[in-house]
């Protein structure tokens, strides 16, 4: 994992001092509210329905145990003792006091953390696959490139006041896209060209929100050394020509659509020609230097624990289910990737207490070289667990509430904080998630249904990624009443697609029943091998409509 | 007379006036006894008349294209860029293009909604004169211009990004 050197430490400290100065001026009335707004947003601070909300950056989802412990302490000392994992691999505190925020940022800086650019119209945290570096089918480890992008985008003087927010995601697996890159402002898919050189396929202009779009490819192959100059060209074209007259048309996807992907790509190429040989062009040494922080941990030379696991599975059905659903194949013999699910029914998806943060830190130290990854599905990954210790780990996490064996099933809901916390929300999202989780509490039935992405957002801003849920739920406000609109057929993976709206929306208490009907249609219509999405794509939306609105 | 801040935070006064774009059918109202900044496209339109005059500079608005002055920038003693609202970031790109692409060497002035917390970004993007909005405390400019001792990226102020400096 990346470790700060003296330059990073110095800039982090200067940033804290800067924000302290800005906060003092704001509290003294020297900065008008609209002048302070982008400054506090670019330090992660929103003013929310009940209190300020602080979004802390977890660069590409990676955290060390000492950082988790510091977060736990911060939630105790400055908040109500819990935190929330977000759909962009970050962490949120829901109740900090404005005047405490500079101190919180100082405490974070001590453990190499920050809240830089987690909000505001700037380049946000770069996200990636939570299985980076430990899966066998990736082109290369994407994390060094994420770190290179993090450094380039941090306090970029030209791009601090873009037309709108800007999100970059990187994916390196050939078969799977766990980073949802095609619904990002820039999605980078790592590829090798025919000569075997490493590079990126560049998607620009994907996104959710009011106008959901799958990002078109504007360059099939960008050599790795050209990464930053090309990003700079894309951002410059967007900064200059993106719409600023209408907030709802200000994302880069609107510009790409207006110019057409080809027209946009031409403009970027023209800009890039001027800067591609500039000193911002990466060097092999610079990449190698960052790669040096993402080397393999000290793996033991061991074999797969196949026999041991088989007998443990045989003796314990709960372990068997958990192993099947929450544990993935590791590139190293004898190791496994474990997902801790933060989706226990009755707990808002992604919420963790200070105690749980410390428990996760202890688990990381004990089982996974002291590191964890936060996923955009709001779970936590221990990436390097010895297979012969999986049973021990499972026994440890079950009483903690992290062992619910529902990963990627219907009840592994992606869900924004919604109207319970968020000032932007039209409707609550957490109670909907909970009601659906209660309705589908039979694990065997969930397994029979297979992988289903159920994504819930409390408003059009789509933090719960509802457009790309196989089943998406969007909270809407109808004359002061909370209603929920359903869409079907979305996907955030390599086959990315935007869901189609089923029809008129429903009251909250109808939701579990409606979801049941949708599931029933799938069960009736599916062939043996089909996932929910496969069936939907084959039969279309009509059978679902007929059943739900019958 | 405006107070003008330099990159080191020192303050001086000068008497450059910003001449607004004339309404349709009106002509430029250039003061007789003061140096004046006029809209860049109008300078170009009256090129024969204006070129070489040390008391005439130009200004760009944030949606203007600095490309129109390619090849002629150094004929101007002062180029100003207007930030109509501090949150409009187009001026930063204009600054970098003027300096890094068109090789502009003379004064680059930030005008309009120029606030303290954006000064260091402006400095990094090539601006070397800042006309702070009148209600802001000009004595805090020096501190705000120097919150950061360095940056990660190359920009107008540093041609070499940190990743290359680290390597050496």
Say if residues A349 and A378 touch (Cβ distance below 8 Å): yes
Q: SS3 sequence, A119-151?
A: CCCCECCCEECCCCCCCCCECCCCHHHHHHHHH
What is the reported pLDDT for B73? 97
Nearest by Cα to A392 from A324, A328, A338, A332: A338
Interface probe, candidates B96, B125, B130, B163, chain A, greatest A C-beta count within 10 A: B163
Instruction: Transcribe A489-549 into DSSP letters.
Output: --B-STT-BPPEE-SS-EEGGGHHHHHHHHHHHHHHH--TT--HHHHHHHH-SHHHHHHHT
Mean pLDDT across chain B? 96
Average pLDDT rounded to a whole number, residues B96-121:
98
Say if residues A506 and A484 touch (Cβ distance below 8 Å): yes
Which residues 48-107 of B have a C-beta within 8 angstroms of A? 86-90, 92-93, 96, 101
Interface of A with B (CB under 8 A): 5, 7, 10-11, 14-15, 17-18, 21-22, 30-31, 35, 38-39, 121, 148, 151-152, 154-162, 228, 236, 239-240, 244, 274, 278-280, 282-283, 285-286, 289
What is the reported pLDDT for B139? 95
**pLDDT band (50, 70, 90) for residue A515:** very high
State the ipTM, two decimals.
0.98
Task: Tell me the β-bridge partners of A214.
Answer: none
Instruction: Choose between A77 and B167: higher pLDDT.
Output: A77
A341-380 tens-digit pLDDT: 988 888 888 899 999 999 999 999 999 999 999 998 899 9
From B92, B163, B167, residue closest to A158, measured CB to CB: B92
The answer to whether the Cβ–Cβ distance between B148 and A11 falls below 8 Å is yes
> A36: helix, coil or strand?
helix
The answer to whether the Cβ–Cβ distance between B152 and A155 falls below 8 Å is yes
End-to-end C-alpha distance for chain A, whole angstroms:
54
Say if residues A489 and A500 touch (Cβ distance below 8 Å): yes
Length of chain B: 168
Interface contact B134, partner A, CB < 8 A: no
Residues of A in contact with B160 (CB under 8 A): 279
The answer to whether the Cβ–Cβ distance between A240 and B90 falls below 8 Å is yes
Interface probe, candidates A37, A38, A158, chain B, greatest B C-beta count within 10 A: A158
Number of other residues whose CB lies within 10 A of the CB of residue B98: 27
User: Nearest residue of B to residue A275 by CA position?
Assistant: B101
What is the reported pLDDT for A48? 67
What is the reported pLDDT for A346? 82
Burial class (CB in 10 A: 0-12, 13-18, 19+), A220: exposed
Say if residues B39 and B59 touch (Cβ distance below 8 Å): yes
A251-296 tens-digit pLDDT: 999 999 999 999 999 999 999 999 999 999 999 999 999 999 999 9
B124-153 tens-digit pLDDT: 999 999 999 999 999 999 999 999 999 999
What is the reported pLDDT for A50? 61
Among A90-94, A120-124, A164-168, where is mean pLDDT lowest?
A: A90-94
Residue A95 has pLDDT above 80, yes or no: yes
Rounded to a whole number of angstroms, the distance from the CA of B115 to the nearest CA of chain A is 9
Burial class (CB in 10 A: 0-12, 13-18, 19+), A357: buried
Token code pair at residue B106: 């003379």
Strand A335-340 relative to strand A380-386, pairing: antiparallel
> A170: helix, coil or strand?
strand
What is the reported pLDDT for A298? 95
User: Nearest residue of B to residue A160 by CA position?
Assistant: B89
Residues of B in contact with A31 (CB under 8 A): 117
Token code pair at residue A441: 């509490």
Name the phi and psi angles at A530, rounded to 5. Answer: -80, 135
Burial class (CB in 10 A: 0-12, 13-18, 19+), A549: exposed
Task: Tell me the β-bridge partners of A472.
Answer: A455, A487
B44-76 tens-digit pLDDT: 999 999 999 999 999 999 999 999 999 999 999
Could you give the CA distance from residue A361 to residue A343 in angstroms, rounded to a whole number?
A: 18
Token code pair at residue A47: 């003013």
Helix axis angle, A430-439 to A511-525, nearest 10°: 50
Mean pLDDT across chain A? 95
Torsion sign across C-alpha atoms A534, A535, A538, A543: negative
**pLDDT band (50, 70, 90) for residue B19:** very high
**pLDDT band (50, 70, 90) for residue A417:** confident
Residue ranges, CATH 3.30.413.10, chain A: 135-293, 414-548
CATH superfamily of domain region A414-548? Sulfite Reductase Hemoprotein, domain 1 (3.30.413.10)
What is the reported pLDDT for A420? 84
The answer to whether the Cβ–Cβ distance between A279 and B147 falls below 8 Å is no
Average pLDDT rounded to a whole number, residues A509-534:
95
- Classified by CATH at the fold level, domain A135-293 comes out as Sulfite Reductase Hemoprotein; domain 1 (3.30.413)
Average pLDDT rounded to a whole number, residues B72-87:
98
Residue A511 has pLDDT above 90, yes or no: yes
Interface contact B151, partner A, CB < 8 A: yes
Residue ranges, CATH 3.90.480.20, chain A: 6-110, 306-397
Q: Can you say whether residue B52 is alpha, beta or left, with left for phi > 0 and alpha for psi between -120 and 50 degrees?
A: left
Say if residues A137 and A173 touch (Cβ distance below 8 Å): yes
Interface probe, candidates A6, A122, A157, chain B, greatest B C-beta count within 10 A: A157
The answer to whether the Cβ–Cβ distance between B87 and A157 falls below 8 Å is no
- Classified by CATH at the fold level, domain A306-397 comes out as Sulfite Reductase Hemoprotein; domain 2 (3.90.480)
Residue A51 has pLDDT above 80, yes or no: no
What is the reported pLDDT for A349? 86
Say if residues B141 and B9 touch (Cβ distance below 8 Å): yes
Q: pLDDT exceeding 70 applies to what percent of chain A?
A: 99
Residue A49 has pLDDT above 80, yes or no: no
Average pLDDT rounded to a whole number, residues A121-128:
96
From A7, A30, A157, residue closest to B162, measured CB to CB: A7
Q: Does domain A6-110 have CATH number 3.90.480.20?
A: yes
């Amino acid at each position: 994992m990346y470790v700060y050197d003296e330059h990073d430490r110095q800039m982090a400290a200067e940033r804290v001092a800067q924000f302290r100065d800005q906060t003092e001026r704001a509290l003294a009335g020297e900065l008008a509210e609209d002048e302070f707004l982008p400054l506090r947003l670019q330090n992660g601070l929103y003013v929310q329905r009940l209190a300020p909300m602080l979004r802390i950056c977890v660069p590409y989802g990676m955290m060390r145990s000492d950082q988790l412990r510091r977060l736990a302490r911060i939630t105790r000392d400055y908040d109500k003792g819990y935190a929330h994992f977000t759909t962009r691999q970050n962490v949120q505190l829901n109740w900090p006091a404005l005047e405490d925020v500079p101190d919180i940022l100082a405490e974070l800086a001590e453990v190499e953390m920050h809240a830089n650019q987690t909000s505001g119209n700037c380049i946000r945290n770069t996200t990636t696959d939570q299985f980076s570096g430990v899966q066998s089918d990736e082109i290369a480890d994407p994390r060094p490139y994420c770190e290179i992008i993090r450094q380039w985008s941090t306090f970029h003087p030209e791009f601090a006041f873009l037309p709108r927010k800007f999100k970059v995601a990187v994916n390196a697996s050939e078969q799977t896209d766990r980073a949802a890159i095609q619904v990002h402002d820039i999605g980078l898919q790592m590829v090798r060209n025919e000569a075997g050189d490493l590079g990126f396929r560049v998607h620009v202009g994907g996104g959710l929100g009011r106008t959901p779009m799958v990002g078109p490819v504007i360059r099939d192959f960008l050599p790795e050394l050209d990464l930053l100059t090309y990003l700079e060209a894309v951002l410059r074209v967007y900064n200059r020509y993106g719409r600023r007259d209408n907030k709802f048309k200000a994302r880069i996807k609107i510009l790409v659509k207006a110019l057409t992907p080809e027209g946009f790509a031409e403009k970027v190429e023209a800009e890039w020609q001027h800067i591609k040989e500039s000193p911002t062009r990466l060097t092999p040494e610079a990449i190698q230097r960052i790669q040096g922080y993402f080397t393999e941990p000290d793996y033991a030379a061991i074999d797969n624990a196949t026999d041991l696991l088989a007998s443990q599975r045989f003796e314990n059905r709960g372990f068997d289910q958990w192993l099947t659903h929450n544990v993935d194949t590791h590139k190293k013999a004898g190791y496994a990737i474990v997902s801790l699910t933060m989706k226990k029914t009755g707990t808002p998806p992604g919420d963790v207490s200070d105690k749980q943060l410390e428990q996760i830190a202890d688990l990381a130290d004990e089982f996974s070289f002291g590191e964890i990854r936060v996923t955009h599905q709001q779970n936590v990954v221990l990436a390097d667990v010895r297979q012969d210790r999986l049973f021990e780990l499972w026994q440890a996490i079950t009483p903690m509430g992290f062992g619910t064996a529902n990963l990627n099933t219907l009840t592994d809901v992606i869900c924004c904080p919604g109207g319970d916390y968020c000032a932007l929300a039209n409707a609550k999202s957490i109670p909907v998630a909970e009601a659906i989780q209660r309705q589908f509490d039979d694990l065997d039935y969930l397994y029979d249904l297979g992988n289903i992405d159920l994504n819930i957002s409390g408003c059009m801003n789509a933090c719960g990624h509802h457009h790309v849920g196989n089943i998406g739920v969007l909270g809407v406000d109808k004359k002061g009443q909370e209603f929920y609109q359903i869409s079907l057929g979305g996907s955030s993976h390599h086959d990315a697609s935007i869901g189609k709206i089923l029809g008129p929306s429903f009251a909250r208490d109808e939701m579990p029943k409606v979801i049941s009907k949708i599931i029933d249609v799938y069960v009736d219509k599916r062939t043996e091998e089909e996932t929910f999405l496969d069936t939907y794509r084959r039969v279309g939306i009509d059978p679902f409509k007929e059943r739900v609105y019958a | 007379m405006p107070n003008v801040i330099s990159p080191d935070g020192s303050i001086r006064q000068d008497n450059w006036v910003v001449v607004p774009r004339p309404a349709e059918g009106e002509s430029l109202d250039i003061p007789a006894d003061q140096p004046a900044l006029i809209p860049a496209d109008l300078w170009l339109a009256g090129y024969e008349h204006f070129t070489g005059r040390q008391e005439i500079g130009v200004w760009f608005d944030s949606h203007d294209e600095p490309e129109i002055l390619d090849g002629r920038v150094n004929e101007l003693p002062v180029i100003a860029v207007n930030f109509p609202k501090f949150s409009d970031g187009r001026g930063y790109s204009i600054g970098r293009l003027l300096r890094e692409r068109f090789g502009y060497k003379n004064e680059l002035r930030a005008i309009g909604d120029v606030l303290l917390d954006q000064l260091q970004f402006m400095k990094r993007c090539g601006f070397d004169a800042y006309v702070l909005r009148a209600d802001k405390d000009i004595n805090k400019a020096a501190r705000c211009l120097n919150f950061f001792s360095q940056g990660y990226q190359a920009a107008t102020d540093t041609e070499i990004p940190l990743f290359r400096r680290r390597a050496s």
